Amino acid sequence: MKRLLILGAGTAGTMVANRLSRTLDRDEWKITVVDQHDTHYYQPGFLFIPFGIYTKADVVKPRRDFLPPGVELILSPVEVIEAERNRVRLAQDNRWLEYDFLVVATGAQIRPDQTPGLMEHEWRRSIYDFYTLEGALALAKHLRTWKGGRLVVNVVDNPIKCPVAPLEFLMLADWFFHEQGIRDRVELIYATPLSAAFTKPIAAKRLGYLLEQKGIKVVPDFMVERVNPDARKLIAYDEQEVEYDLLVSVPLNMGDEVIARSGLGDALNFVPVDKHTFLSPKYPNLFVLGDAAAVPTSKAGSVAHFAVECFAENFVRYVEGAEMNVRFDGHANCFVESGFGKGLLIDFNYDTEPLPGRYPLPGIGPMTLLEESEVNHWGKLMFRWMYWHILLKGRDLPLPALMSMAGKWRNN
Amino acid sequence: MTTRVLSGMTVEVNEEGFLLSPDAWTPELAVEIAREEGIEELTPAHWQVIEWCRKNAVNGRSPTLRQITAGTGLSTKELFALFPKGPAKKVARIAGLGKPEGCV
C-alpha cells in the first residue's frame, strides 16, 4: 500500500482528499488526512458576520462530514515534517506517520502578535479582526451598539487571504451604517500598504469611483509599524499616523508554524513551489496546495479549487511516472460585495488582470465582470451552498479550471 | 505601456515608470532611476538590498518588505532611511521589478 498524507482539512486539503479518493486505486492507496480540530469554517462567510447577515451556524460544520468514507482522519497538531525522511511527527502520542507522497495544505493564519500594540489590552475592545470566527462575532457585538466615530480598516502587509475582503468590509460597513441611520456619524478610512485601493490599471479606471462615491477615504502607502492602543492611533514606519475610534485590522498573514519548525518556508512561512504544478523544487514527493503555497496568485478558495482540479489530474499521472501535463494558470474568480445588495465579480490569472465582460456565458452572463450588479450579490450568497455541497466534495462545477478570455473585453 | 530612453538604452516602462521586463535591467539603469526617486547616490547598503531583491524575486515580483528585512538583516527603519517613503515600491522600481500590487 502506498500512503498519501494530507496535512490540513481546510478548503484545499478536503478537496484534494475527495478528488484523489475517486481517482486513485483504493486497493493500492491509503489516504490519511491530519488536522488539529474537527471544525470546518466557511471562511468567506466571516465577512458577513459583523453586519448580522450571517451567524455562526452559517459558517461551521464538522470536517468529518466532508471527507469521503475510507479516508482516515487523524485529529492532532503536527509537530514537524521531516521531508528528507518522508515522515511527519504528530503531537498526539509523539506518533510518526510515514508517507510516499505528502500534500501540505496547512493554510494561512492572521498574526496580530506580529504588530506591537495590536493584541494587547484593547484587543477586541477597540481593535478587532474579521478573519477569525471569534473576531467576527466580537465585532458584530461591538457594532450592534456602536454610536459612530472613525472606523479605520488597516491591512498590515500583503499577501493576505482574500485580498478584496478589506474593501468589501468597508463597502458593507457603508451600507450597514446607512441602514442603522448613523452613516453621517461614521468616518470610513482604508489604510493600505499599497499605492491605492485598486492597483490594476483597468480595475482602477473602472472602479476608482466606487470608494469616492461611498465616502470611503484611502490612506495609501501606509506601512504600519505599531499601534498605540491608548492614544488610539496607528503609527507607520515613516512616522505617519492615523487615528481611529474603532480599528478593524487585517493582521499580517503567515503560514503555519509547523512550516517554520520543519525548515520548509520563506520569511512568512509560505512554502515555495512551482506555480504551475505545486511541486516542491526540493522534494519530488511533496506538493503544497491552497494558502500555504508561496505562489503569486490570490490566497482564496476559488484559486484552491481550480488549483486542486489541475493538481489532481496531474497527480495520477505523476505517480505513474508520466509527465504532469496540466499547467495551472493562477486562475481566480471572486465575488466582491459592494453594498446595497450589489456586488462585483472578478476573473483573472497570473498573466491577465481583471477585465470587464460577462460570466460564465460570454455576452450573456448573467454575472457581470468588473461591474456592479444585483445578480453578482445573489451569486455570492448562493456560493455558500455551492461551497458546502459541491466544491468541498470535489465535484465538478460546470466552469473551466483554467481562465478563459471568452466574454472578456480588452478595450473599454 | 510606453518606451523611454534611460542611460542610453530604450526600455519599455508602464505608466509609473516601472520596467516591464526585469531582464532589461542594468546597474546603470538603477543609478538613473534612483536619481528620479530622489536618491542621489547608491551606497553599498543600497546595492545590498537591490541585489538581494533581484536574486529573490519570484516571477519578476519584488519581495515584500518583511521578506527583504528577513533576508538582508536590515531593519525596516533602516530600509526607510535608505529608500524614504515607501521602500517596497522604490526598491522594486530601482531593481527593475514589478510594482507591489493587489489582485484588483
pLDDT, tens digit, 9 for 90 and up, residues A39-71: 999 999 999 999 999 999 999 999 999 999 999
Min Cα–Cα distance to chain A from B39, Å: 16
B103 contacts A348? CB cut-off 8 A: yes
Q: Based on the structure, what is the number of domains in chain A?
A: 3
B104 contacts A237? CB cut-off 8 A: no
The residue in chain B having the minimum alpha-carbon distance to the alpha carbon of residue A294 is: B58
**Are residue A241 and residue A294 in the same domain, yes or no?**
no
Q: Indicate if the alpha-carbon torsion angle A171, A173, A176, A180 is positive or negative.
A: negative
Cα A185–Cα A152–Cα A378 angle in degrees, nearest 5: 85
**Are residue A85 and residue A166 in the same domain, yes or no?**
no
Q: Indicate which residue of B1, B5, B58, B103 is catalytic.
A: B103
**Are residue A214 and residue A303 in the same domain, yes or no?**
no
**Are residue A288 and residue A219 in the same domain, yes or no?**
no
What nine digits make up the cell of A230? 491608548
A268 contacts B67? CB cut-off 8 A: yes
How do residues A235-252 score in pLDDT, each as one tens digit? 999 889 999 999 999 999
Given a cut of 60, whether residue A412 has pLDDT beyond it is: no
B99 contacts A195? CB cut-off 8 A: yes
Residues of B in contact with A157 (CB under 8 A): 64-66
DSSP secondary structure code for residue A390 in this structure: I
How do residues B9-54 score in pLDDT, each as one tens digit? 888 888 888 998 889 999 999 999 999 999 999 999 999 999 999 9
Min Cα–Cα distance to chain B from A280, Å: 14
- CATH number, domain at A213? 3.50.50.60
DSSP secondary structure code for residue B56 in this structure: H
CA distance A62 to A10: 11
Of A278, A258, A225, A298, give the one whose Cα is nearest residue A90. A258
Helix, strand or coil, per DSSP, at residue B48: helix
DSSP secondary structure code for residue A241 in this structure: E
Confirm whether A410 is domain-assigned: no
**Are residue A94 and residue A198 in the same domain, yes or no?**
no
The residue in chain B having the minimum alpha-carbon distance to the alpha carbon of residue A155 is: B102
Q: Is the Cβ of B64 closer than 8 Å to some Cβ of chain A?
A: yes
**Are residue A201 and residue A280 in the same domain, yes or no?**
no
Q: Note whether A289 and A308 are within 8 A (CB).
A: yes
What nine digits make up the cell of B34? 534612483
Q: Which residue has the cell 495609501?
A: A220
Given a cut of 90, whether residue A378 has pLDDT beyond it is: yes
**Are residue A241 and residue A264 in the same domain, yes or no?**
no
The residue in chain A having the minimum alpha-carbon distance to the alpha carbon of residue B70 is: A267
Burial of B43 by CB count in 10 Å (0-12 exposed, 13-18 middle, 19+ buried)?
A: exposed
Parse chain B into domains and list their residue ranges: 2-94
Catalytic annotation on B103?
Answer: yes
Domain limit, last residue, from A235, A252, A269: A252
Q: Is the Cβ of B70 closer than 8 Å to some Cβ of chain A?
A: yes
Confirm whether A396 is domain-assigned: no
Q: How high is the pLDDT of residue B1?
A: 64
A262: Cβ contacts below 8 Å, ≥ 6 apart: A80, A81, A82, A83
Confirm whether A346 is domain-assigned: yes
Kindly report whether the peptide bond that precedes residue A360 is cis, defined as omega within 30 degrees of 0: yes
Go through chain A and tell me how many residues it has.
Answer: 412
Q: Is the Cβ of A272 closer than 8 Å to some Cβ of chain B?
A: yes
Beta bridge partners of B5: B10
Domain that holds residue A90: 2-109+254-318
Residues of B in contact with A203 (CB under 8 A): 104
Q: Is the Cβ of B100 closer than 8 Å to some Cβ of chain A?
A: yes
Q: Note whether B65 and B79 are within 8 A (CB).
A: yes
pTM summary value = 0.94
* Residue pairs spanning A and B at CB distance below 8 A: 78
What is the separation of C-alpha A281 from the centre of its chain, rounded to a whole number of angstroms? 24
User: Which whole number is the average pLDDT over B2-8?
Assistant: 83
User: Which whole number is the average pLDDT over B61-70?
Assistant: 86
